[in-house]
Amino acid sequence: MKFWFLVVFFSLPVRAFEVTFIASESENNDYWQNVLSIAFAAAEDLNINLNVIEADHKYSQKSVIEQIIKGKSKPDLLVFYPYKQGAKFIFNGLEQAKIPFVTLTRLSELEKSQSELIPKNYNYWLAEHSYDERYGGYLLADELIRQYHQSEQKKTIRFLSISGDRTADSELRLLGIHDRLSKQSDVEFVQNLVVNWSGAEAKEKFIALYNRHDYINLVWASSDTMALGVIEAAKELGLKPNKDIFIGGFDWTKNGLLAIKNGQLAASVGGNYLSMGWMLVRAYDYYQNGNKFAEAAMPFQVINSHNLDMLEPIIFNSSWENINFKQFSLTHLKQTKYDFTIRRIIKHLSLQNQLTQDANLQATKIEQ
């Protein structure tokens, strides 16, 4: 378990807004490094004291939250990914401790039978902040089927899905797959593998499974890392990616995007690594205005070989500090709806690049 701290000092009539984020393990993980980089950049812009605690397992998470509940100093807001098992116990503990919290998943969508697990039944559960994971699962399945039908392959589709874990987000993505496959008559769903977000495990299990079937020609993976493991396996089996087999992932990692550019990975669905940055914008507006968390639409987007060039600037952007996250705040924009879209980010980056070029040109003229 690791602890990261970003402390921003500023002058306000009251003390700084304290946010604690319980994150998954991020070491050597491009996706989580992006999540944290963006979160720190947003916190600095929004004058938020952000404390990130890494807890990579549901039991570790439970222990961390219990320590926060018992601690003398409590955060103004706790943010975490809830597990279905034990969620009620944790939520009740936070409610009794009067600690406001936001969950980074749509747990209530899976727990409709447990009517108590919805934010309106808790005074301190402020919101569910999440991309539409079910739609994300649908979107990737739809893209893989589309690309397969455009190829010269005529076989019945044998569709394999690979999940990282059994959390609510993973289950919602799987529901999205079945939403899409229910509309397709020429698809045989093989099964879902759970490989703990490991590319090596995805590779090993795919080879073992492939050898038990005549063929598998579509592979949906819940991360680019796992998808890249399947690509390695496919090559060892003598298959040609994007011809004999179509493989897609999530998260828009650098290695995943390079694999799309090199014609190996069919597609990657993403945009969700911005989620914590958007959550802090919502938290800032809540803190500034004292109102409920405003609703926020955060759409997934698919990247393939056709739109990669257009979206590369945001994927390979490592200077998140150049983006002023206050410009997305309803407090500053005096708007009623958020614009948490990739289009808005690209527009801002283009403007910043133009301003930098103009400043450099002006400096050159002065020197001359």
Least confident of 15-29, 201-215, 227-241, 257-271: 15-29
Residue 70's CB is within 10 A of a number of other CB atoms, namely 10
pLDDT of residue 48: 95
What are the backbone angles phi and psi of residue 274, rounded to the nearest 5°? -85, -5
Last residue of a domain, one of 270, 293, 311: 270
Unique residue bearing structure tokens 């969950």: 103
The whole-number pLDDT of residue 322 equals 79
Burial of 341 (0-12, 13-18, 19+ CB in 10 A): middle
> ∠28-29-30 over CA atoms, to 5°?
115
Provide the residue range defining the domain that includes 290: 3-131+272-351
Identify the pLDDT of residue 13: 43
Rounded to an integer, what distance in angstroms lies between the CA atom of residue 89 and that of residue 101? 14
Q: Work out how many domains the chain is built from and give that number.
A: 2
Same domain, 299 and 346: yes
pLDDT in tens, 198-224: 999 999 999 999 988 889 999 999 999
Residue 357 in any domain: the answer is: no
Burial 10-46 (b: 16+ CB within 10 A, else e): eeeeeebbbbbbbbbebeebbbbebbbbbbbbbbbbb
Last residue of a domain, one of 255, 270, 285: 270
CA distance 149 to 153: 7
Question: pTM of the full predicted structure?
Answer: 0.84
- Domain end, chosen from 212, 245, 270, is at 270
Same structural domain, 266 and 143? yes
Residue 251 shares a structural domain with residue 326 = no
Do residues 143 and 264 both lie within one domain? yes
Assigned token pair, 327: 């410009």
Residues 88, 314: Cα–Cα separation, whole Å: 38
CATH number, domain of 190, equals 3.40.50.2300
pLDDT band at 26 (very low <50, low <70, confident <90, very high): low
Question: Do 176 and 247 fall within a single domain?
Answer: yes
Please list the alpha-helical segments (H only) found in 8-132: 30-45, 58-70, 87-97, 107-110
Give domain status of residue 368, yes or no: no
Query: Are 246 and 328 members of one domain?
Result: no
Q: Is 158 helix (H, G, I), strand (E, B) or coil?
A: strand
Q: 106 pLDDT exceeds 80? A: yes
Residue 183 in any domain: the answer is yes
Q: Indicate the helix (H) or strand (E) that contains 359.
A: helix 342-367
Shared domain for 266 and 276, answered yes or no, is no
Classify residue 367: in a domain, yes or no.
no
What is the mean pLDDT of the segment spanning 150-162?
91
> Rounded to whole angstroms, what are the CA distances from 238 to 21, 157, 206, 228, 245?
44, 19, 13, 15, 11
Q: Does residue 266 sit in the same domain as residue 303?
A: no
pLDDT at residue number 355: 44
pLDDT, tens digit, for every residue of 56-86? 777 788 999 999 999 989 999 999 988 877 8
Domain-embedded: residue 7 = yes
Q: Do 249 and 162 lie in a common domain? A: yes
